[in-house]
Each structure stands twice: as C-alpha cells, then as structure tokens.
Amino acid sequence: METLLGSIEQLALIKALKTSFFAYPVVNALHILAVGGLVTSVILMDLRVIGVIRSIDEQSLMRLLRRVALGGFGLAVLTGALMFAVRATDYAGMPLFWIKLGLIGVAGLNFLAFSLLRAEGMRRILAGVSIVLWPTVLLVGRFLGFVL
C-alpha cells in the first residue's frame, strides 16, 4: 500500500502541484469554496425539511440547493483527491483522515436514506442528523490541515 501511495505522490501532475507557488493554494481555496457551498446548501435544505424555513417554495429551493450541493460535492472530491495525493502516505497513516472519510460515508448513507424514505417524521430526523454530520466533516477536515 505504501508503494502505491508513494507512486501517487510521484505522478507528474502531483509533483507539479507540489512545487507550484500558485497551484496548491488555488486547489486548496477551491476545496474550501466547494465544501462551503456543499455544507451551506445541505444545511439550508435540512432546515427547510425540518420546518425552520417555510417562506420559500420547497420544490424550487430543494431543486436549486441540490444542484449546488452536488456540484460542491463533486468539486470537493476532485480537489480533495488532489490535496490527498500531494501527501498520500502521510494522510493514509492518519486516523483522523479515515474518520473524515467515514463521516462522509455516513453522511452519504444518510442522504440515500433521506432520498428513499417518504415518511415525513423520518425525513426530519435524517435532516437533523445531516445538520450534525456535515459540519462535523468540515471540522475534522480543518483539523487535518493543522495536524500535518
């Protein structure tokens, strides 16, 4: 596994990212922007489901915010993978990194359950879980940046 991770770190694109004065900060900033868009849109959707936001039409709001969330998630995955690749061996050895990935997985399962269920009470509970999960992912991710 360590050989594979070391090979990832030696890819030409990753070496260029690592040595560029501008590229890594831009990728990092895009990651922060993507995560911000994702977490904000998810929390706004969850607040609408719970009933805190009632003044905006639910279908229109959800359609818009779902697109923002999916776009943010896609960009966060791409930029996160690039940042991981720069120090793949270090990140793979950190329990905090695996906790972050596990939390993202749980949040994804929560979203899947939310999408499949029609019972309003369960959807509200899952929205509440989501409001806790995504900021926790954000917090763990910020800790990762300071531990390495």
pLDDT at site 146: 86
Comparing CA positions, the residue from 61, 50, 36, 62 lying closest to residue 121 is 50
Tell me the two tokens of residue 135. 């900021």
Q: In this structure, how many other beta carbons lie within 10 angstroms of the beta carbon of residue 48?
A: 19
pLDDT by residue (tens digit) across 31-65?
Answer: 999 999 999 999 999 999 999 999 998 899 999 99
Query: Residue 42: is it exposed, middle or buried by C-beta count within 10 angstroms (0-12/13-18/19+)?
Result: buried
pLDDT band with cut points at 50, 70 and 90 for residue 15: very high
CB neighbour class for 119 (10 Å; exposed up to 12, middle 13-18, buried from 19): exposed
Contact 36, 15 (CB under 8 A): no
**Segment 63-109, tens digit of pLDDT:** 999 999 999 999 999 999 999 999 999 999 999 999 999 999 999 99
pLDDT confidence of residue 101: 97
pTM as predicted: 0.92
pLDDT at 145: 82
> Where in the chain are the domains?
2-147
Q: Where are the alpha helices (DSSP H) in 51-119?
A: 58-86, 88-92, 95-116
Give the pLDDT score at 148. 75
